[in-house]
Chains A and B, each alone.
Chain A
Amino acid sequence: MRRTLALLRRRVLGVVPVFALVVLGAFLLLEAAPGDAVDAYLAGVGGGDAAQVAALRTEWGLDGGPLPRLVAYLSALVRLDLGWSSAFQRPVLEVVLERLPNTLLLMGMATLLALSLGSLLGIVCGARPGSLRDRALSLAAIAIYAMPGFWLGLVLIVAFSVELRWLPSGGMETVASGLSGIDRAIDIARHLVLPVLSLGLVYMALYLRLMRDGMAELWGQDFVRAARARGMTGARLVLRHVARNALLPVVTMLGLQSAAMLGGSVVIESVFAIPGLGRLASEAVSRRDTPLLLGVVLLSAIVVMLVNLVVDLSYALLDPRVGSGTGG
């Protein structure tokens, strides 16, 4: 318990400079992009006269230089105020919190699918590396991994929504359906099947490879040979001794993947018209809405940090060597 708390404290403290870097980086990138939120707004409404343009820049706080803007943003941020979104004309916090659950649901389900199916098939392959079963599955996994997620998504839509009409082609749930409780949950689940498949299958291949290769390597290790010499065979040997030890790199990858999956969800959210954080980030960039982008980036950083924290804690469960002796 003490070890866990120490880890937690270390993580939270370590994350402050990371957040500062992330905010500064995103801010500078958007500053470096030519054009501002008023330019983006004017393109949308078809122009405006000089007085109107100047008034808008003043109202949106864009008439000063980047430094005063950054200072103003940071001083609001320490009071936990994420600012005002010019693209949505609403508080940033409200906009991002509205989108967060959708992204978490999509990412969570896709990760669950990728991790469970990937490690399961990885064990099947790794139980007998080099077998026909292993080769066929590995080849299929590589093929899926080579597909761009959005393309897989479009193919799934054409097959299952347009041709077979089994599943909806997009959206988070049926529009103004009036459903509630379990019916609504089923409705949302039906909408999530295709996006979760497109996002999850691609990452599944990664876990499969990792699991399989880890296991293939372990078969030659002394402790496995020793176990065999003791007469251990079959599922017990594969699962308790080989697979469990191959699981560590898989869990490591899970932490790394949570960040990559947030990136991948930008495309999937657009293809399937899911109002999530990824799409919001791309909108924020194209509308030059700096506070909104920083809000999305910060929230994503928090999500990634939390996932990695869970990953670190689960190391300790999987491998008693982790964290012992150092006292943290």
Chain B
Amino acid sequence: MRAPFPALPLARRSLLAGAAAFSMPRGAWGATPKRSGRLTVAADSEPPNLNPAIIASNGVFFVASKVIEPLAEAAYDGRDGLAPRLATGWEAANDGRSITITLRQGVTWHDDRPFTSADVAFSAMEVWKKHQNLGRAVFRELEAVETPDAHTAVFRFAVPTPAQLIRNALPVVTSVLPKHLYEGTDIMRNPANQKLVGTGPFRFAERRHGEYTRLVRNPTYWEAGRPHLDEIVYRVLPDRAAAGNALEAEEIQLAAFSAVPLADLDRIGKVPGIKVISSGYEGLTYQLVVEINHRRRELSDVRVRRALAHAIDRDFVVRTIFRGYAATSQGPVPKNDRVFHAPDVAGYGFNPARANALLDEAGYPRGADGVRFRLRLLPAPFFNETRQFGDYLRQALAAVGIEAAIVSNDTPAHLRAVYTDHAFDIAVGSPVYRGDPAISTTILFQSGLPAGVPFANQYGYQNAEVDTLIRQAAGTIDDAERVRLYRAFQKLVTDDVALVNVAEFSFITVARDNVLGVSSNPRWAVSNWADLGFAG
């Protein structure tokens, strides 16, 4: 993909329904990888700042998660859907004011200094809370991190904070930095933001801009016998056709994040020696949505918004635009989050007759030319699929008498138009679901945000009841009660058609058959790859 990597979500266990059929890799699961070799993978973006504790985004994690570890990683099995990394245990106090984290012993940094609770306390207070794109919200109320001993860190919050939210956020927001390299420095400009130093299975070796980034095996990694690989090389391949060609020519062995476009999968899947894998991204769910400018008179009428929702054939979108590698969607929490997903939200099936009737009822009859009214449609340029859906939407709306004029922008221009200038009527967006509605989903519906905050409610949508629910849930520490509130929230915004959710999608990995250990967890592409290796 050519898109930016908006930062990512957390783990949930199930697969996207549409992708399930393709999910089993053809390689041998049981085989043990041999311990050697250089894995060359395709990369298409080169974040200038590689520090995952500051920038929690897929583009950064893709490289940095192998070097710098979080407290816990998402897992298909395991308590809370998590696998221990630098933390071995996490326990929340009943009053929601503190969480006690037990840390792994015998871990050393890549410069051989010991890893201790001081590193965690420093990272939390000075980096995640102050600088990190997601941590600034998640840890806003973090008051202090106490370190009673070298392997215990107690997070204290100023207000009751849901432990469920912190747990769900652990894999994404808790990359731990070495205090001894960051303390007393300008954190944003620290040279270690490029030459990473962590505790992970791989050490940072070198980076040549526009060419490659190279990681090498960490011989003193805490997990015995890991990692299998000697080296990982990220080769920058800016052309869309390049990853597929390089895989066929065996110059690279793996292309993650749909670096091979969906359109090429049918062909490349038939090449001997190459496998196509669609699992391993369950924790990175993107949502295809129609963003609505509620300031526009016609769109401020809920009947018109419902007509929009009825005009879209979601099955067609999944089948044709996503070639089956996606699932249809009706609400703001994806189906694969079984905890929070509300299955009973209002469904807007494909029904052009109903859409036409709703528009007539709202007082927008077709004119002499068959057009009821005209809209500006801004498809986000982030993915091929968001652009293609824009073309589809124009046709689908034409069928119900709404003429949409497509306005194409590049990425910065699109952000400016939609999220700062509000110069759109409808837009196609791809927000990320990050494993808990509080991380980056409620912000799409909550009112009162200043213009210029991207991927948030810049839509002029305002519902006092929704705002109340969001506020209430944020301070609720009981897991079940939180879930109940967020389910009520989903019903409300879906009834309102604040946005139109169309589909849930993720990414595809294409690899040579001899690469073992692909897709071993729900955030696999952005996890540490300690278990990845070549067949013996």
A residues engaging B (CB < 8 A)? 33-37, 39-40, 42-50, 52-53, 87-90, 95, 98-99, 154, 157-158, 161-162, 165, 168-172, 175-176, 270-273, 275-276, 279-280, 286-288
Contacts and interface: CB of A to CB of B under 8 A. Distances in A.
Contacts of B416: 34-36, 39
A1 B410 CA distance: 52
Interface string B33-65: 000000010000101110000011101100000
Nearest to A288: B412
Contacts of A99: 210
Interface string B1-20: 00011111000000000000
A259 to B, nearest CB: 22
24 contacts: A34-B417, A35-B414, A43-B415, A44-B59, A45-B55, A45-B60, A46-B6, A47-B133, A48-B136, A49-B137, A52-B133, A52-B136, A88-B48, A89-B49, A157-B241, A161-B249, A169-B246, A170-B246, A175-B214, A270-B238, A270-B239, A273-B235, A276-B210, A279-B238
Interface of B: 4-8, 40, 45, 47-49, 55-57, 59-60, 133-134, 136-137, 205-206, 208-212, 214, 231, 233, 235-239, 241-242, 245-246, 248-251, 382, 409-417, 420-421, 432, 440, 449-450, 452-456
Given A52-B133, A271-B239, A46 B411 contact: no
Contacts of B420: 39
A241 B249 CA distance: 50
Nearest to B134: A46
Contact of A43 (B49, B55, B411): B411
Given A169-B242, A169-B246, 11 more contacts: A33-B410, A34-B409, A34-B416, A36-B412, A39-B416, A46-B7, A165-B250, A175-B214, A271-B239, A272-B239, A273-B211
Contacts of A46: 4-8, 56-57, 133-134, 432, 440, 455
A158 B247 CA distance: 12
Contacts of B239: 170, 270-273
A106 to B, nearest CB: 13
B382 A43 contact: yes
Contact of B415 (A39, A87, A161, A286): A39
A157 B237 CA distance: 14
Interface of B is mostly: loop
A266 B440 CA distance: 37
B235 A43 contact: no
Contact of A175 (B40, B47, B241): B40
Nearest to A48: B133
Contact of A169 (B133, B137, B251): B251
Nearest to A275: B210
Contact of B237 (A34, A39, A273): A273
A48 B210 contact: no
A165 to B, nearest CB: 6
User: Which 8 pairs from chain A and chain B are nearest by CB?
Assistant: A275-B210, A35-B412, A46-B7, A46-B6, A35-B416, A39-B412, A89-B48, A47-B455
A34 B413 contact: yes
B415 A42 contact: yes
B407 to A, nearest CB: 11
B417 A171 contact: no
Contacts of B8: 46
A273 B42 CA distance: 11
A47 B453 contact: yes
Given A33-B413, A88-B48, A50 B450 contact: yes
Given A34-B413, A169-B245, A43 B6 contact: yes
Nearest to B271: A162
Given A89-B48, A275-B209, A53 B237 contact: no
Contacts of A154: 241
A286 B412 CA distance: 7
A48 B452 CA distance: 9
Contact of B211 (A42, A44, A53, A275): A275
Contact of B57 (A45, A88, A273, A279): A45
Contacts of A170: 237, 239, 242, 246, 251
